[in-house]
Chains A and B, each alone.
Chain A
Amino acid sequence: MSDHPTLPPYAIAMGMRIEAIEADGAPVIALDYSDRAEGRPGYLHGGAIGGLLEMAAYAALHAALGAEDAQVRIKPVNISIEYLRAGLPRQIQAAGQVLRAGRRVANVRAEAWQDDRSKPIASCWVNFLLRPR
């Protein structure tokens, strides 16, 4: 298992934290419900859910790159988010899965859930551009 990067200021300000590490090394990122995460009254903001998904995808890629991580600069190229269920006013978690990490591009998926991991509330794919540092 590799070292996990510290979360950026945006993630920390939102209250995101690494909750657990998956068997494949991908961190599970958790976000408690708070005023900062609220969209329409009583629901999570779609952007906060998207931001969490992208952070989980990013963290999964960092973990997958392992020792190479220090030599690589990772830039998100695009993201596509599907909203599956309403984000209820309680904790949300997300984890990513690297489908492929090539020489120039990495393709990553992420899912977010609340009480029941088998009922995701949102999912996404993110493509990252990999460049030498």
Chain B
Amino acid sequence: MVETSPPQPSSPGIPSGAEFDPSRMAKFIGSRGHNGFLGIGYQDHGPDWIELTLPWKEELVGDTETGVIASGPIISLLDNATSISAWVRHGAFRPQVTLDLRIDYVRAAVPGRTIVARGECYQLRKSMAFVRAIAHDGDINDPVAHAAGIFIIVGETEGARP
């Protein structure tokens, strides 16, 4: 069945196939470019969520006095986790762009600890994916950050203007 399925439309270099594999997708995305530099990894996923990891490293520090990681890498981690959660819920990759992303920094992450982000797509509309995420450094009930955002699904949205 898999062999006879037509190839799925895909972005250059993004693994495609009849069977969408969130772990494979997340590992691929985490292996290159900005995510590769940050060291973003895959941990787990469910029907509408995915967990990604961001290990602490010296190069990502934002405050040399405390060793606390900068918030930039946390933005990237949450952007990835929420973005992939929309594909997980949809069951396939498709092009989408971030409309907005809002992040509350609940507390500073403990230096040296890996940050885990659980991104969830809580509603999927024809042209929009509504997402949220929690980032923590060991206990999800004691979060480091909380995020909410919206992605616009590009292929499904006909432009109203030229």
Contacts and interface: CB of A to CB of B under 8 A. Distances in A.
Interface of A: 8-11, 13-14, 35-42, 45-48, 50-52, 54-55, 75-83, 86
Nearest to A133: B65
Contacts of A36: 33-34, 37
Given A8-B70, A9-B60, A38-B33, A51 B75 contact: yes
B13 A50 contact: no
Contact of A45 (B11, B34, B63, B99): B34
Interface in B53-74: 58-64, 69-73
Contact of B79 (A46, A78, A86): A46
A41 B11 contact: yes
A47 B77 contact: yes
Contacts, number: 118
B102 interface: yes
B57 to A, nearest CB: 9
B76 interface: yes
Contacts of B78: 47
A82 B12 CA distance: 26
Contacts of B32: 35, 38
Contacts of A76: 71, 105
Contacts of A51: 70-73, 75-76
Best-surrounded residue of A38, A39, A42, A52 (most CB of chain B within 10 A): A39
Contacts of B127: none
Given A39-B34, A47-B80, A10 B70 contact: yes
A78 B71 CA distance: 10
A32 B99 CA distance: 23
